[in-house]
Structure 1
Amino acid sequence: MNTLVMYPSHQFSEEDKKMYYILTDDFPYGSKLFPAGSICYLNEQTFLHHISMGSTRFWRFVMVEDGSVVTMDVESLQPLNEKMADFLLAVSNVHERLNCFLDCQLLDAAMKARVGQQVFAELNHQTFPGVIRYIGKLHKSPWPSGLCPVYFGVELQGDGDGKGHCDGTYNGTKCFKCKPGGGIFLPFNKLQFLPMPEDTKLKEVEKLDGIQEMPVKVGEAVGFYLDDAFTRGIAMDVYKEGSTWMVKVCLEDEAIMDGFRIIPMDSVVKEELLLPAFEIEADSGPQDRLKCKRSESETEKETKPPSLDVNSMVQIDLEKGNSVTGTIRWVGCLPNTREKVAGVELDEEKGVSDGELQGIRYFSCPPKRGLFVKLESCQPDMRFQTNSHTPWESLELSGPDTPAVFSNLPPLRDEMAVKVLSGRMRGIQGHCNSCYMDAALFSLFSCTSVLDSMLYKPSFPPELQVQKILRDKIVNPLRQNGFVAARSVMDLRHHLTEKGQCSSFATSEKDPEEFLNLIMHRILGIEPLLKLQSGRLKEQECYYYQIFMDKQEDLVVPNVQQLVEHSFLSSDLKLVEIPSCFIIQMPRFGKEYKMFSKIIPSLELDITDLLQDSPRECFVCGDAATRECSACFKDKMFADTGLKQYCDPCCRQAHSHYQRKAHRITELHIPEEFHRAFCQGNRRVPREKLELFAVLCIETSHYVAFVKYGPEKENWMFFDSMADRHGDENGYNIPTVTLCPEVAKYLEMPVAALAMEQPRDMEGVAKRLFCDAYMYMYQSKRMALYK
């Protein structure tokens, strides 16, 4: 039996370089359990010895937090550098710590964070804006490892002002300066990091000791006294000279010296912003005249209609007041014409061609969708233009297009997801049958990073353009602003149309699996998510799994676990490896026929018994399994869930019954390392479980999504890209994200009671989750590290 050994701290010299690791699975050792997320280390010499000797996978590690020495399987550990370990140690809850490590983007953002950076801080289950004023350690290392947690000192702002715990002082040490109750110290998992401004001078200004907000910034109108006369000008530069901050001012009266003065900041008074409030006299100097010209050009730019080109979305007024909408596919001059002509692919079958005119093909589109008109007859599609009377502030901020966001942002979780995503005009705006793509993208990227490899995989033109649109115009804006305008998705659809050789991707309704297969396989070429083995047949690779099974009379209201096990068993399938993302399509055919009226979402999918050549547990006694019997899976004498595998004694006893003597028993392969560890006393079979993160649903040809944004059963949000509409044909769709905690009530309900529940009586949107499920998405954050 394993025993816990305590070694004196001097056994591992502090001068030795240490190799740090984090435990990714719970690990029982003797009478103690080391939970996943625990951090351990060994010195570099020991590490090199193991490598050079080619020793077994079981090495001895020192646990950071209690100094105990434990023999562990290196397969259950992930390496850390010292900086990562310091940041992770500040997260006291080991399970949250592991999630922070697996969500590598958040940890990476924390390690790159700078003093002066804007953040959102989580405090008492609320989120407040703030500014980082300190990054570092708050005390000496209490452990022999030399590691010490790194915390962030944040000055709270806005609604959080006065809700902090200190004035920047910790245990008598002044870490930064702010007013009492304005500061707080937090680990990085309680922060959402916002991108730093690009202006390096502003970065330096934000680091100024004792000044939390600069009184004057470049470009602002200022005033000061010069020879007892009040003089006005524009701040052209702000910089530090020794210990004094100076402002370089462009003077209003150019007759004074060379038109510039260097003034101490303490002597400068800020007036109003330079443009547009700083009024200009008509007969002022050349500098003022230059500003007048700039103002005129800006006015002209504002009144000038936007230029139209290929891929512009337009509307065209026809006779009798009718109008049509579409996308410009070609611009040029036709034979015998001097005026520019636009070839437009219409959203509806109101055209006269398929992109061909007088025997010459100018572009390709479905029949009766093509139309050739004068370019001047085209107007920007008003559904995608900013309307000053639009009641939705988010739409006004987005304008006709979602601004690209080039900072790589982590997914939204917990309170931050609620703050950024929930509400009207949130999520991804739908347009022209795009719901299949809107729901899939929102599910895959809003609250998880499991497929972020799609965004950063090295690509080459023209695939690179698709990746840039997906990353910079859809995913990053969604994670930063909570809203993506329809034009960004339409841009992606046009590029998919070109690369997928399918002219209807930008206009017609598709299925999510068709979109996922196209973008993952044919365009971005990412590694298949699933590797499956059926008997002795060749290994198969795919991106999602379609459940096929005969009607099971005993499954009235099945859960996803049962459906997957039945499907794998009936097809004699095994998973060759643990998938990082497991996308499962439910047993339904078309949009009408559903095999089951309700399906219960399994929040965890246990795939231990679905893995090929993986350690198994005897379902009778819990010992290591050596045999598997598929016939016992359907035997009424046993439990109605779970595949059936046995150790040798239990297998003989179970099959001694005359009704089971004809069962075909399969021998299981036990990995040698596991067999050795099992014989040494570690009698525990590790369970491999995937976590549910999203569900796509369909009802009457319209796709919506449910997304799990936190660990609690109530942490569900519902997304509909076309939940509401503003206006008629010339209006636009209003995407909406709503919280739906009522889902938890039905997840906890007994199966018999849920079966009797009438869909029309179910609260909120829960009916759609349980009755309209089309595709379930599961993830393994641990395996995502390798993909």
Structure 2
Amino acid sequence: MAQVGREGVDEFLLYFILMERVPLGAGAVQPGSLCCMSEDSYLQTVTLDQTPAQSLSITAIEENVLIDVDVNVLHPLNQRQAALLLAIHNPTERLSCFLERGLLEQAIQAEVGQRVLVEHEQKLYPALIHHVGSTLDTSTLLPPVYFGVELEGEGEGRGNMDGTYKGSTFFKCKKNSGLLLPFNKVIFSGAPPAEGAGAPYTQTGSIQAGDKVAFFVEDSLKRGIVVFSSNQAATGFVEVLPEDPPSSELLKIPLDSIMKEEIGTPGTVSHQTLVHDGKSAAKEERVTGNTKERLLEVNSLVQIQYNEGDLAFGIIRWMDDHMAGVELEEDKGCSDGIWCGHRYFQCPPRRGLFVKLTACQPDTRFLSNRDSPPKSLESPQNRIISVSATYDSLRVSGKVPPLQGAAALDILEGDMRGIQGHCNSCYMDAALFSLFSCSSVLDSLLFKPSSLPDGKIQQTLREEIVNPLRKNGYVSADSVMNLRCQLMEESQCPSFTTSEKDPEEFLNLIMHRILGADPLLKLQSEGQRVQESYCYQIFIEKQQEMTVPNVQQLLEQSFHHSGLKLAEVPSCFILQMPRFGKDYKMFSKIVPSLDLDITDLLSDSPRECVVCGSLATHECDECFKDVILSDHGLKQYCLMCSRQVHSHHKRKNHKPVPLKIPEGFVKTSNKIPRETLELFAVLSIETSHYVSFVKYGTEKGSWMFFDSMADRFGSEDGYNIPRVSLCPEVATYLAAPLSDLVNQNPREMKGVAKRLFCDAYMYMYQSKRMALYK
């Protein structure tokens, strides 16, 4: 592998994190490793053997070598994210921190002068941020960003520096009180920057989250378990879940008023007895036969109420007769699934919490109407009914056809329609709504034998999501969470229920690895075997003359530069645009092509001469960009026209190649038939949030817009309100002249049209004719 120097490092680099292992010689580059390449190199990456699963020649930053990496295992980063992640030396830990996302976003926003907690010597100490930046480390292509902090309180004197590192002073603090740490060793409280370094901070280093403690309430000795201590220690209090009597409400107790007890593993209780003023307190007897406990099981959605009416929501990942290990939706926990030195489940840092089972209540946001009575809620329309009251999103068996025309409007339009969003699920909500609400092109996924013996995921997809969506117009978040939990188990990816993903990652996982569906696309380059895939990523060179391209132009450009042809007509063609999420877009606007003509992209199909319209016999790659013939498109000619076109002195050196005429095709005077696909849905992304546009009828204005989190009722204990609305304004802009779209200010576009033309991420096309055979 070629060594890469530092000279090319500049602001135009694109950064990525590896999501899977990549072989390198006798070893491998591990998941979580960081890579980069210049924007120019990315735009100019064109080879004759590229396929939708093509690779990029990219630099592994830490190894400082060039490696070829499948684009599907790369996730884009901005420079700030990459520099912060690079400070974490363990790739596995780095990937976990990236997938968890919340802490990384907090680190990006952190400032000098902010008061935080830091993890040092297996304890938490209060600290003050003095420095955020690199340490002049030149050993990698990108200098890592560290946090320079000064330990305070009990941490004073437990550091290893005074702000000077390797002869360079980055900040000044008391002797042996400074540390340089990666962001995952810092807990950002979210408080505003402190005015001075001497603010009071009470810290008891011996009290940790998960400890069993005793305390007094009005002279009565109580026992409990410490939770959320890392978030509350700065106030001089910790939150404790009482054991006697069993309670689901947390108490806020001063640190100097509690006594620590020794405990064993979950499910055991210490026999230690504490004495106060001659009074003894025996250990609490275990409560059995509790009705609520019998309702809860592993993967149950629960809520935990603690002081001042706040709620924490999560999923039970482990339980015994008395205790539950819960993975929380937010960073309100105290572990990653480890308690008292034992691992009981795996989750992102600060998302794990161990509590008594009696503290867990079923999540009221997702109770079905058989669990709770209907509950009317106030709304602008004075009558939005809660998820659990109006719609029955239980299993719907059989086969329910997709919605079209007036039926689609009657069933889907309105608030609390579509798929309810919850906990970073918008990528999945938008993809499922796009594929199944008004189209049957992939219905075979719902009925073909699954690659999993029990077909559990396929049944969930069919009977809890697609069928209820088509029958009732609504799917509750708990049904989607059920699918996410099953995907998490099958993919061995612990973040599937909590973190945002890319739609193509979800689609590839469920179609390929789980359902074992036949690939949607079969592509071939000259002299190469047929390649198969489920989505196609467009890669092209940036061209100045293409200011506002349409999808047809982008697809032809990409196929031409990659030397690709379709081996057969796809029933479903999913196209990813040339962009990296919300951070990088090659084009400010893209015009949707309502009909995608793939005739000239097929490897074995009769084609029309671009000059006279008769049967073409030769194709010329060099003529592709010749605007004299036409402003875009592949160029193929009959023999006579090819000779005439290439008689021009500018084209004499072109090398037309013969086309393969399909066996059995009879040359006639009739017009060559065209093979077209119709657009049925578009996914768009803006600020990490996915929405979708769906064509529900044959009329030009038959477009609907879906947002799984369009509104919200309540705060933390509330729920998202999904909405499906009509967007006929889309047809107006689709019919407008290109010059109008070029000059159109996106902010002045009516309705949601801007999100279709400016934020498109993925286009979905179908061939109803081919869908009959697949």
Q: TM-score, normalised by structure 2?
A: 0.60
Q: Give the Å deviation of 1:315.
A: 1.0
Structure 1 position 505 matched with structure 2 position 471: no
Q: Give the Å deviation of 1:323.
A: 2.6
CA-to-partner distance for each residue in 1:638-694, whole Å, 9 max, x for gaps? 2113211000000000111000111121110101311xx21xx35331111001000
Is the contact between residue 614 and residue 669 of structure 2 (CA under 8 Å) also seen in structure 1? no
- Residues in 2 aligned to 1:383 and 1:454: alpha-carbon distance in whole angstroms: 30
Q: Which residue of 1 aligns with 2:742?
A: 755
Structure 1 position 324 matched with structure 2 position 345: no
Q: Give the Å deviation of 1:602.
A: 0.4
Is the contact between residue 417 and residue 447 of structure 1 (CA under 8 Å) also seen in structure 2? yes
Structure 1 position 440 matched with structure 2 position 431: yes
Q: Which residue of 2 aligns with 1:308?
A: 296
- Residues in 2 aligned to 1:537 and 1:672: alpha-carbon distance in whole angstroms: 21
Match of 2:376 among 379, 389, 399: 389
Question: Cα gap change, 1:752/1:669 in structure 2, threshold over 3 Å: closer, same or farther?
Answer: same
Q: Give the Å deviation of 1:501.
A: 1.1
Give the secondary-structure state (helix, strand or coil) at the position aligned to 1:415.
Answer: helix
Is the contact between residue 333 and residue 351 of structure 2 (CA under 8 Å) also seen in structure 1? yes
Give the secondary-structure state (helix, strand or coil) at the position aligned to 2:690.
Answer: strand
Aligned ranges for residues 260-409 of structure 1 at < 5 Å?
Answer: 307-319=295-307, 321-333=309-321, 340-385=322-367, 388-390=375-377, 391-393=383-385, 395-398=387-390, 402-409=393-400
Match of 1:452 among 430, 443, 452: 443
Q: Quick one: which amino acid aligns to residue 677 of structure 2?
A: L
Is the contact between residue 394 and residue 483 of structure 1 (CA under 8 Å) also seen in structure 2? no
Structure 1 position 780 matched with structure 2 position 767: yes
Is the contact between residue 463 and residue 523 of structure 1 (CA under 8 Å) also seen in structure 2? no
CA-to-partner distance for each residue in 1:604-658, whole Å, 9 max, x for gaps? 0000000002111001101100000122110121211321100000000011100
Question: Cα gap change, 1:653/1:747 in structure 2, threshold over 3 Å: closer, same or farther?
Answer: same
Question: Cα gap change, 1:739/1:665 in structure 2, threshold over 3 Å: closer, same or farther?
Answer: same
Q: Which residue of 2 aligns with 1:720?
A: 707
Q: Which residue of 2 aligns with 1:736?
A: 723
- Residues in 2 aligned to 1:346 and 1:462: alpha-carbon distance in whole angstroms: 31
- Residues in 2 aligned to 1:304 and 1:370: alpha-carbon distance in whole angstroms: 22
Structure 1 position 745 matched with structure 2 position 715: no
Q: Name segments (4+ residues, structure 1) moved above 6 Å.
A: 303-306
Q: Quick one: which amino acid aligns to residue 599 of structure 1?
A: I
- Residues in 1 aligned to 2:394 and 2:662: alpha-carbon distance in whole angstroms: 52
Q: Give the Å deviation of 1:463.
A: 5.6
Q: Quick one: which amino acid aligns to residue 474 of structure 2?
A: F
Q: Give the Å deviation of 1:761.
A: 1.1
Q: Give the Å deviation of 1:514.
A: 0.4
- Residues in 1 aligned to 2:514 and 2:752: alpha-carbon distance in whole angstroms: 35
CA-to-partner distance for each residue in 1:740-772, whole Å, 9 max, x for gaps? 111111011010111111111111111110010
- Residues in 1 aligned to 2:648 and 2:427: alpha-carbon distance in whole angstroms: 52
Is the contact between residue 365 and residue 387 of structure 2 (CA under 8 Å) also seen in structure 1? no
The size of the alignment, in residue pairs, is 474
Give the secondary-structure state (helix, strand or coil) at the position aligned to 1:658.
Answer: coil
Q: Quick one: which amino acid aligns to residue 730 of structure 1?
A: D
Q: Give the Å deviation of 1:445.
A: 0.2
Give the secondary-structure state (helix, strand or coil) at the position aligned to 1:520.
Answer: helix
Aligned ranges for residues 484-633 of structure 1 at < 5 Å?
Answer: 484-633=475-624
Q: Give the Å deviation of 1:318.
A: 2.9
Give the secondary-structure state (helix, strand or coil) at the position aligned to 2:600.
Answer: helix
Q: Give the Å deviation of 1:367.
A: 2.0
- Residues in 1 aligned to 2:639 and 2:429: alpha-carbon distance in whole angstroms: 51
Higher helix share: 1
- Residues in 2 aligned to 1:673 and 1:415: alpha-carbon distance in whole angstroms: 44
Q: Which residue of 1 aligns with 2:215?
A: none
Give the secondary-structure state (helix, strand or coil) at the position aligned to 2:677.
Answer: strand
Question: Cα gap change, 1:604/1:394 in structure 2, threshold over 3 Å: closer, same or farther?
Answer: farther
- Residues in 1 aligned to 2:489 and 2:292: alpha-carbon distance in whole angstroms: 31
Match of 1:767 among 754, 768, 772: 754
Give the secondary-structure state (helix, strand or coil) at the position aligned to 2:741.
Answer: helix
Q: Please say which of residues 344-353 and 740-749 is displaced more in the overlay.
A: 344-353
CA-to-partner distance for each residue in 1:294-328, whole Å, 9 max, x for gaps? xxxxxxxxx98982211111111234544311001
| Highest RCO, 1 vs 2 (Cα 8 Å, sep ≥ 6) | 2
- Residues in 2 aligned to 1:461 and 1:363: alpha-carbon distance in whole angstroms: 24
Question: Cα gap change, 1:306/1:477 in structure 2, threshold over 3 Å: closer, same or farther?
Answer: farther
Q: Quick one: which amino acid aligns to residue 779 of structure 1?
A: Q
Q: Percent identity?
A: 65
Q: TM-score, normalised by structure 1?
A: 0.59
- Residues in 1 aligned to 2:375 and 2:735: alpha-carbon distance in whole angstroms: 47
Q: Quick one: which amino acid aligns to residue 635 of structure 1?
A: D
Q: Quick one: which amino acid aligns to residue 685 of structure 1?
A: I
Give the secondary-structure state (helix, strand or coil) at the position aligned to 1:660.
Answer: coil
Q: Which residue of 2 aligns with 1:478?
A: 469
- Residues in 2 aligned to 1:420 and 1:322: alpha-carbon distance in whole angstroms: 36
- Residues in 2 aligned to 1:350 and 1:395: alpha-carbon distance in whole angstroms: 26
Q: Give the Å deviation of 1:536.
A: 1.4
Question: Cα gap change, 1:666/1:425 in structure 2, threshold over 3 Å: closer, same or farther?
Answer: same
CA-to-partner distance for each residue in 1:278-298, whole Å, 9 max, x for gaps? xxxxxxxxxxxxxxxxxxxxx
Q: Quick one: which amino acid aligns to residue 471 of structure 1?
A: R
Is the contact between residue 430 and residue 706 of structure 2 (CA under 8 Å) also seen in structure 1? yes
Q: Give the Å deviation of 1:462.
A: 5.5
Q: Which residue of 1 aligns with 2:264?
A: none
Q: Please say which of residues 687-696 and 361-370 is displaced more in the overlay.
A: 361-370
- Residues in 1 aligned to 2:401 and 2:324: alpha-carbon distance in whole angstroms: 41
Question: Cα gap change, 1:757/1:314 in structure 2, threshold over 3 Å: closer, same or farther?
Answer: same
Q: Which residue of 1 aligns with 2:408?
A: 417
Q: Give the Å deviation of 1:396.
A: 4.2
Q: Give the Å deviation of 1:329.
A: 1.0
Is the contact between residue 398 and residue 485 of structure 1 (CA under 8 Å) also seen in structure 2? no
Is the contact between residue 463 and residue 524 of structure 1 (CA under 8 Å) also seen in structure 2? no
CA-to-partner distance for each residue in 1:379-405, whole Å, 9 max, x for gaps? 122222355123324734456x72111
CA-to-partner distance for each residue in 1:546-587, whole Å, 9 max, x for gaps? 000010111111100000000000000100110000000000
Is the contact between residue 575 and residue 611 of structure 1 (CA under 8 Å) also seen in structure 2? yes
- Residues in 1 aligned to 2:308 and 2:621: alpha-carbon distance in whole angstroms: 69
Q: Quick one: which amino acid aligns to residue 366 of structure 2?
A: F
Q: Which residue of 2 aligns with 1:672?
A: 663
- Residues in 1 aligned to 2:471 and 2:455: alpha-carbon distance in whole angstroms: 22
Is the contact between residue 404 and residue 696 of structure 2 (CA under 8 Å) also seen in structure 1? yes
- Specify every segment of 5 or more residues in structure 2 that has no aligned partner in the other structure, as ranges: 1-290, 378-382
Aligned ranges for residues 33-182 of structure 1 at < 5 Å?
Answer: none
Q: Give the Å deviation of 1:461.
A: 4.5
- Residues in 1 aligned to 2:671 and 2:332: alpha-carbon distance in whole angstroms: 67
Q: Please say which of residues 316-325 and 762-771 is displaced more in the overlay.
A: 316-325
- Residues in 2 aligned to 1:744 and 1:323: alpha-carbon distance in whole angstroms: 45
Is the contact between residue 347 and residue 369 of structure 1 (CA under 8 Å) also seen in structure 2? yes
Q: Which has the larger radius of gyration?
A: 1
- Residues in 2 aligned to 1:418 and 1:573: alpha-carbon distance in whole angstroms: 40
- Residues in 2 aligned to 1:461 and 1:643: alpha-carbon distance in whole angstroms: 43
Question: Cα gap change, 1:347/1:382 in structure 2, threshold over 3 Å: closer, same or farther?
Answer: same
